[in-house]
Amino acid sequence: MKYDVIVVGAGSAGCVLASRLSEDRNRSVLLLEAGPDYPSFEWLPDDIKYGVRAWYESYNVDDHTWGYKALATPMQQPFDLPRGKVVGGSSAINGQVWFRGIPEDYDEWEAMGNEGWGYLDVLPYFRKIETDLDFPGDDFHGSDGPIPVRRYREDELMASPKAFIDACQAAGYPFTHDHNHPESTGVGHLVLNRVNEIRMSTAVTYLQMARDRMNLTVRSGVFANRVLIENGAARGVEVESGGEIYRLEADLTILSGGAINSPQMLMLSGVGPAEHLREHGIPVIADVPGVGQNLRDHIAVFMSYESNVDEPIPDRPPPLQIGMRYTTPNSPFRNDMHMRPISIRTEHVPIDFDPTIRASPTGFSIALQKAVGKGELRLATPDPHDQPILDYRYLSEPFDAERLRGAVRLAAEISELPEYAPAKMRRLTPTDDQLADDEALNKWLQEYVRTQHHSSGTCKMGPNSDAMAVVSPRCEMYAVDGLMVVDASVMPDVIRANTNATTIMIAEKIASGI
């Protein structure tokens, strides 16, 4: 059977595309996913359904991730980079922070030659994708979209987040009632697509409302090897399933594998930097130098504390409730830093932590939202089952290290204010000696910076005049007809927010034009 559309990757963007494109009952849509599918809500494993593991469980790579390893800095060993390998993709394993970029992010996209991607252009799609339970129906928020979002109430906050609000205000930072307001800055309650403890992924929202359509086929456990390209046009994909190799054909093929899988698949299909493809013996179909370049992320570092506060620990404790967005001194980028107290986040608990003899682990997540440094993605081998080389090159630019040093010192100062006393916290890392010396603090940062799980930009959109653009502002491949890329990889520059809501917005916007 030949389909009208094949969507490769049932993640944050893929589920949206499949749902919206199949609204036309005359269009046949095939949605492919390498990981498992849980068609019924009752079948969802707890780590997918509830999203937050108990703090004493070790973080591990399981059947729902790709098991990637990535390079942060030359001073570190490769770190774990979990990306979703399940229907719902990374929206099914993420931290559920529902932040939009600030207006400047999208206006900058438009200024780079991406007509139709300015803030006022994308705002209607941000409203379309959500139901904001706290701000329904105004000019900036949605009231009838597939994904419900909310903020924790004051009476739901744990001790450290409560103290963080008071201490940040005492330090002179404003309180914001809504981080998604276009003029927002300062400290306030995080917006989360976690309602009644349930993670509202694109699988349980967008895809669930489309599963009964006869013109939509969802196939899990299907590994896509490459795009089938003949005479300059995509004809479908070659896939593996059950030990067999199949050829699936379509008029339109859309890659929605994310910022890692999509550029990897393009290169395996012969579309990418020609010299790099030849190094791996891959026949060059199209020389597209931007594929795999412009790897963007938010550089994160975690300050470890212990707390002796006496408060009940819920079975599924919220790791994140409060955050502060602010502009670092002398930065040209508004809201380029994000600071938030983390509460019992397993990923950041020391591996030697013993919950029976030590106080509760907690601390701060510091994340540079507008790094100027860029990384790259390269093939390790021409085998689609081998992960690519992911070199993020964090802190390769001195300006990035300078801003992170200042943010870490600010967090340490905030934690020592009288307003933070109720949290009963004691800093473990970095030490006072490290904080006092730029060189020592730089070394600590080089050893401990990590991803904030917001990879993007590796198939960036741009005008035809941009030699590094991979897709047009309509997300259509320049070099191959009948092929699109729609996911976080098309973002031309990093946004100053978590990427999930923007990825979903991109898919919603592109689907409206297909």
Catalytic sites, residue numbers = 454
Question: What is the rounded CA–CA span in Å between residue 144 and residue 137?
Answer: 8
Q: How far is CA 193 from the centre of its chain?
A: 14
How many other CB atoms sit within 10 Å of the CB of residue 174?
Answer: 13
Q: How far apart are the first and last CA of the chain?
A: 21
Q: Alpha helix (H) ranges present in 325-397?
A: none
**CA 33, CA 47: separation in Å to the nearest integer?**
19
- Cα separation, 391 vs 79, whole angstroms: 11
Q: What does the chain come to in residues?
A: 514
Cis amide bond preceding 329, omega within 30: no
- ∠ CA 204-210-214, rounded to 5°: 145
Going through 165-285 in order, the beta strands assigned E by DSSP cover 186-189, 191-192, 194-195, 198-199, 216-219, 223-230, 233-241, 244-255, 271-272
CA 178 to CA 24: how far, in whole Å?
A: 36
Does an H or E element contain 402, and which?
helix 398-415
DSSP element (H, E) containing 300: strand 299-307
Question: What radius of gyration do the chain's Cα atoms show?
Answer: 22
Name the amino acid, one letter, at 445: L
10 Å Cβ neighbour count for 216?
Answer: 22
Burial class of residue 422 (count of CB atoms within 10 Å of its CB; 0-12, 13-18, 19+): middle
Nearest to 340, CA basis, from 192, 446, 456, 182: 192
Contacting residues for 310 by C-beta, under 8 A, at least 6 apart: none
Least Cα distance to 100 among 510, 508, 511, 505 occurs for 505
Going 59 to 162 to 188 to 496, the CA torsion angle's sign is: negative
Token output for 222: 């299907």
Q: Which residues pair with 130 in a beta bridge?
A: 147
CA angle, residues 354, 64, 363, in degrees to nearest 5: 35
Nearest to 269 by CA among 284, 287, 255: 284
Q: Which of 256, 290, 226 minimizes the C-alpha distance to 475?
A: 256
